[in-house]
Amino acid sequence: MNTIKVGIIGGTGYTGVELLRLLAAHPRVNLVVITSRGEAGRKVADLFPSLRGHVDLAFSEPDAKTLAACDLVFSATPNGVAMTHARELMEAGVKLIDLAADFRIKDVAVWEKWYGMTHACPELVAEAVYGLPEVNRERIKKAALIANPGCYPTAVQLGFLPLLKEKLIATDWLIADAKSGVSGAGRGANVGTLYSEVADSFKAYAVPGHRHLPEISQGLDGFAGKTVGLTFVPHLTPMIRGIHATLYGKLTDSNTDIQLLFEKTYANEPFVDVMPAGSHPETRSVRASNSCRIAVHRPQGGDTVVVLSVIDNLVKGAAGQAVQNMNIMCSFDESLGLHTPSLMP
């Protein structure tokens, strides 16, 4: 069985180690390089004992020649890093999947406003394909540069997609009330994510504007064919993994069978599970899996539709979706290395 040579830029964060976990068991992947400036020379299994016996590599300093010898590279780095590698890698014929936000927003001026930096390669933004497979599968197949979606945007867009595509909800009144586990803040030390700061508590944050808002709005605008009015409020919950997005809209046609609509929309999607009518999906039902579980409700049979969308923020919201995109780009079975049950309890 033919394999591809894969590299990871930045393998020490939560998305990096999740990539390592998934790729180590992937039958078509040969991991050849994992970079980290801070951990260069250290064995991966020494930093992450969970990978003992699975990853026999050491972290190395980023080296352009070594990365250019790969077939595909994942960038699991903070915002603003992938754009400094992208041009050189693509000129070498290497496919690149960026798990940060460098290529997600098509309006470069909007990106620079929200991320507070000048884009290093704005000419590549238009070339990048937004890696939401349920929307862009055909474009992903031909892509050389993938902007892997954010975690909140994945849960919210998949929840609203069927309703906006069929023009069944008012586009000027959309609400996304979303909750995330603490791992979404990354692995770096931060007082706000210390155990004693987040345990036994629950809070909203970034209500005036979160960086994922323009990414979500860009996607919803595309589904609707016009600008939508979206209120997005994220919350931090005292759990490690998971996102629960509760989405609200006003139906424009109360006669539509919305349960059937969602079932038909996602009938052939390997990683979107539309649950039976009346269900309430839990974040633990997708823990460590690449699934998005969705349930749709009309409280009291009224004209308000409520969509419940849950994902694991580190898998379908990050590393798993990146591997799903790799599979599509490389003409592998889309589910290869990903179709495993969630962890319970």
Amino acid at 122: P
CATH number of the 152-313 domain: 3.30.360.10
Q: What is the pLDDT of residues 77-90, one digit of tens each?
A: 999 999 999 999 99
- For helices 320-329 and 14-24, what crossing angle results, to 10°? 50
Spatial distance between the Cα atoms of 250 and 182, rounded to a whole number of angstroms: 31
Q: What is the DSSP letter of 45?
A: H
Amino acid present at 96 = L
Provide the pLDDT for residue 202.
Answer: 94
Regions of the chain with pLDDT less than 70: none
Identify the pLDDT of residue 161.
98
- Report whether the peptide linkage leading into residue 345 is cis, meaning its omega lies within 30 degrees of zero: yes
Q: What's the token pair of residue 62? A: 């980023």
The DSSP bridge pattern shows strands 174-180 and 243-250 to be: antiparallel
Span 102-130, pLDDT tens digits: 999 999 999 999 999 999 999 999 999 99
Rounded to two decimals, the pTM is 0.97
Q: Which of 337, 335, 345, 235 is nearest to 283 (CA)?
A: 345
Annotated catalytic residue, options 70, 151, 292, 330: 151
**Burial status of residue 109 (CB atoms within 10 A of its CB: 0-12, 13-18, 19 or more):** exposed
For position 247, what pLDDT does the model report?
A: 98
pLDDT at 323: 98
Asked if 330 contacts 72 with a C-beta cutoff of 8 angstroms, the reply is yes
**pLDDT per residue as tens digits for the range 229-259:** 999 999 999 999 999 999 999 999 989 999 9
Active site residue 121: no
What pLDDT, on a 0 to 100 scale, did the predictor assign at position 254?
87
Structural domain boundaries in the chain? 4-127, 152-313
4-127 carries CATH number 3.40.50.720: yes
Average pLDDT of the chain is 96
